[in-house]
Amino acid sequence: MSEFKHIETQAIRTQNGKASYREHSAPIYMTSSFTFEDAEQARALFADEIDGNIYTRFSNPNNSEFIEKLCLLEETADGVPTASGMAAMFSSMAALLESGDHVLSSRSIFGSTHQIFTQIFPKWGIEHTYADINNPSDWEAKIKPNTKMIFAETPSNPGLDLIDLEWLGQLAEKHGLILNIDNCFATPILQQPSKFGAHLITHSATKFIDGQGRTIGGAILGRQDLIDKVRFFIRHTGPSLSPFNGWLLSKSLETLPLRMSKHCENAKKIAEYLEGHEELESVKYPFLKSHPQYELAKKQMKYGGGLITFIVKGGLERGKRFLNSLNMLSFTANLGDSRTIATHPTSTTHSKLSEEDRQAVGISPGLIRISVGLENVNDILEDIVNALNASK
Ligand SMILES: *Cc1c(COP(=O)(O)O)cnc(C)c1O
């Protein structure tokens, strides 16, 4: 619980106590370890009888401040910061799953999460089954006696398909499974999976949380008993966040509510403008009425998100020409930045997949993903429209 009522205030005013220098902005605690007052305090700290910092792999004031804010935003009991989003995905599962366990996962997940399921977990006897995000009736029959966790992302990347979190929460509840949601795309500003029964919420803080493309980071938030196990795992295996990055990410959270509303406002305007453009086959954005899950998006998301996709006429080659014709938009493999970023999944991030596998996760050859930034919306639109015309 916070002494402040509203998330904007919580994100700004939640801060560690002042040091003796009376600083206003939080200092960075770049220290590997913390000193003990005496032998008794050291003993009590190691025995978990009192709270306090011992060693930065376990905890650090900057990281604690970052997590305290994120827990307020996600309305979770506790959380642990991690060195990257993938450290969060991996640790949230490796800490809780055992050899012989099974995970039911959406097929539309981040590429490295897919590598964990297919290349790494099989070595330790942890199996998975994929279910189709667009076919909820596909899910329940895939739950097995050894299923322990359900994992999903919504909206998905780059398909921008949604899964009904309320329905998924009920499914997990009915079968006594841990529901783990990667909330990186929506952020807690747009949706709070804990309200729908998610037990774990995982984040890549690299994206909208940092929001300026400066660092890699992540977080795992959720139910106390689960986070206790995750904390033990991270403390002893070491995918911990650097205090500098914890400081940066805690500062970033101060502007997350404001940034998200602007990302989404720009994205919606661009999606609305581009819909029906003669050089495009289609435009997809959760808050466009033409999105197949528009009603669901309105139900579970506050805004439509910072990402839009469209399919250019002319397929693969046109997609490449479009990217080469952009002037202002960045061509880089990231998203959730103050700068607008364009990517072409078929020739880059998803080029190793077969055409069939790409279709299964909603990627056609001419698909372009735009992570809409905070520039003036007219400048973003002008660059996109010019590139569409120049790449004919
Ligand atoms: C980027 C991303 C990740 C991985 O995060 P890193 O910080 O790059 O390790 C996981 N899930 C989603 C949805 C992402 O976009």
**pLDDT tens digit sequence for 47-94:** 999 999 999 999 999 999 999 999 999 999 999 999 999 999 999 999
Mutate to test the pocket of ligand 1, among 110, 163, 248, 252 (most ligand atoms within 8 A of CB): 110
* Pairwise CA distance, residues 235 & 241, whole Å: 11
Output the six-digit token pair for 282: 């289609």
How far away, in angstroms, is 112 Cα from ligand 1 center? 8
Pairing of strands 367-371, 78-82: unpaired
How far away, in angstroms, is 218 Cα from ligand 1 center? 8
The pLDDT value recorded for residue 359 is 85
Domains of the chain: 7-253 (3.40.640.10), 256-390 (3.90.1150.10)
The residue ranges of the chain whose pLDDT is under 70 are: none
The pLDDT value recorded for residue 181 is 98
Mutate to test the pocket of ligand 1, among 112, 209, 242, 349 (most ligand atoms within 8 A of CB): 112
- The order of strands in the sheet holding 218-222 is 78-82, 218-222, 200-204, 178-182, 147-153, 102-106, 127-131
The pLDDT value recorded for residue 136 is 92
Residue 10 DSSP symbol = H
How far away, in angstroms, is 86 Cα from ligand 1 center? 6
Residue 136 DSSP symbol = G
How far away, in angstroms, is 354 Cα from ligand 1 center? 22
Question: H or E stretch including 168?
Answer: helix 165-175
Write the residue with the smallest CA distance to atom 12 of ligand 1: 110
The pLDDT value recorded for residue 62 is 98
The pLDDT value recorded for residue 3 is 86
Mean pLDDT of the chain: 96
Angle, helices 256-274/377-390, rounded to nearest 10 degrees? 40
- Burial environment of residue 237 by CB neighbours within 10 A (0 to 12, 13 to 18, 19 or more): middle
* Pairwise CA distance, residues 287 & 165, whole Å: 17
How far away, in angstroms, is 38 Cα from ligand 1 center? 42
The pLDDT value recorded for residue 34 is 98
The pLDDT value recorded for residue 155 is 97
The pLDDT value recorded for residue 83 is 98
The pLDDT value recorded for residue 114 is 94
Mutate to test the pocket of ligand 1, among 93, 109, 202, 207 (most ligand atoms within 8 A of CB): 207
* Ligand 1 neighbours by CB, cut-off 6 Å: 84-86, 89, 110, 153, 157, 182, 184-185, 204, 206-207, 216, 218
Write the residue with the smallest CA distance to atom 5 of ligand 1: 85
The pLDDT value recorded for residue 137 is 92
The pLDDT value recorded for residue 349 is 83
